[in-house]
Chain A
Amino acid sequence: MTDARVVGIGMTEFGVHDRPLPELFADAAFEAFDDAGVEGVDIDAFYLGNAMGGQTERDTHLAPTLATHVGIAGVPCQRYEDACATSSNAFKHAVRAVEAGDHDVVLVGGVERCTPTTGLDTPEMTSIFASAAHRQYEQPTGLTFPGVFGLLTTRHMHEYGTTEEELAAVAVKNHRHGTLNPRAQFGKEITVEDVLEGPVVASPFRLMDCCPFSDGAAAVVVTNDEIAGTLDGDPVGVAGIGHATDVIPLADKADLTATQSARDAASQAYEAAGTGPDDLDVVEVHDCFTGAEVLAIEALDLVEDGEGGRAAVEGLTALEGRIPVNPSGGLKAKGHPIGATGVAQLVELTEQLRGDAGDRQVEGAERALAHNLGGDAATTVVTILEGAT
């Protein structure tokens, strides 16, 4: 076994992109190639995350199409689909292949379009997102994904007294972080009052509790430690990856507020990295809704169960807090092009560990964690990265 390194990163701005997926993806892929100091001819394999292209773009068998578009036709290509945890699962398998010596230099990327550039309006896109819920036992109720997290969060509010104001504080924090990220979809600060005055999407969530529909792409180049030493890109180590699932449908979950797959994935990742929550310097979590960040920081053991709601209010998770969460702005402000999100988290954390994150840099960041959750928390992938020492 060898150790895996991220040696190149790239991503588009997240927002609205009225361009075909291959063109969007190429921008991220070539940025990652250039950052690593590799050319297409150096790439041995391609791991793609795209969750919904068959439904949103009438476009499948995407991995070889994208590979061809960026000049790496012929290499083994595979595409992953795990709802919102799509491209972190692609990353996991790329890392395992490098660790096993199957491939030396691999491209991992994600791309997705979710805005009206697809020709789909809000009800149609809401329906496509809802296809990650159980086809027979959940979709016929009219459950949406804001509704899924509404159910989990309403229960958390009941059990622990979490309030709408506390949820709003998560949005306020992540919007503030987003103003420091030039690739973020939203670049303006908001107030708790702005959030609380917005229209309800699915209770307890109002419009600004929810991440936006986004288009975008992200890519990383992964290689082994030996080759990493010969390339231009400043390497970051992959210290541990955890990947766990939970039952579907959500009514069968033992505990609605635990996000058990995140707890299981975090335990695996902490053990693999030989580290724990107290050793982390910076964290990106899957804040598709404000309540999702509350559940995530508890599942990762960054705070005690029941205290997630107060974290943003007390500044604990702010850029200058005890454990900065979502310095990128998170899904909430940076945007959430589903299949690109997992890799985009790793792009942010690589920049943080390199000291390249500009105004949102967490000083001296050496160890970072990404939490990427899919569906109703039925899938979570947790990745721990470490700066070169």
Chain B
Amino acid sequence: MSADESRASAPLSYDEWASALEDGELLGQRCTACGHETAAPKAACGRCGSRGLETVSLPTKGVVYSETTIAVAPAGFDGGSYRVAVIDLGEARVLARLEGDAGIGDSVEFVGSLEGREEPAPLFA
């Protein structure tokens, strides 16, 4: 196997995921063995352990699965209240910042990456 082929078959890395997110694309993985999808890339499937993972572009439309408004923030997250939500994208779920007042069951859309942060986080609205 050439180095290129080896690289092509390597699982989606954090750097690739983060770069794509900053470019406005939400990447994830689908397990070729069990079909489980995730928005948090791993070296093996979180559900069945298979190393057969393919990179997928995740849907940009989803539904709020759960949400919380965080009023006491960690150091480095100044600015008071903000919302964090688990978004159901159909097969995968993703943890994201949520703008607006959508509640559980409401439709939301991926709008890019949280601005002003060194480490990107998905943003939905």
Residues of A within 8 A of B (CB): 122-124, 126-127, 130, 134, 136-144, 146-147, 150-152, 154-155, 158, 199-204, 247, 249-252, 254, 256
Contact = CB atoms under 8 A, between A and B. Distances in A.
Q: Which 7 residue pairs of A and B lie closest in terms of their CB atoms, listed nearest first?
A: A150-B68, A127-B74, A137-B40, A155-B66, A140-B119, A140-B121, A123-B75
Contacts, number: 119
Nearest to A159: B104
Contacts of A134: 40
Interface in B34-76: 38-40, 46-47, 65-76
B117 interface: yes
Given A123-B73, A155-B66, A250-B95, 7 more contacts: A140-B117, A140-B120, A150-B70, A151-B84, A155-B104, A158-B105, A256-B65
Given A126-B72, A127-B74, A142 B84 contact: yes
B84 A143 contact: yes
Contact of A202 (B18, B68, B94): B68
A151 B70 CA distance: 10
Given A141-B114, A251-B39, A251-B40, A122 B66 contact: no
B86 interface: yes
Nearest to A253: B93
Nearest to A152: B66
Contacts of A122: 72
Nearest to B113: A140
B69 A202 contact: yes
A370 B72 CA distance: 30
Contact of B38 (A143, A147, A203, A252): A252
A139 B76 CA distance: 11
B66 A252 contact: no
Nearest to B36: A252
7 contacts: A123-B75, A126-B73, A251-B86, A251-B94, A252-B38, A252-B40, A256-B66
Contacts of A142: 70, 73-74, 77, 82, 84, 97, 121
Contact of B75 (A124, A140, A202): A124
B97 A147 contact: no
Nearest to B66: A155
Contacts of B82: 142
B70 to A, nearest CB: 5
Nearest to A247: B46
B96 interface: yes
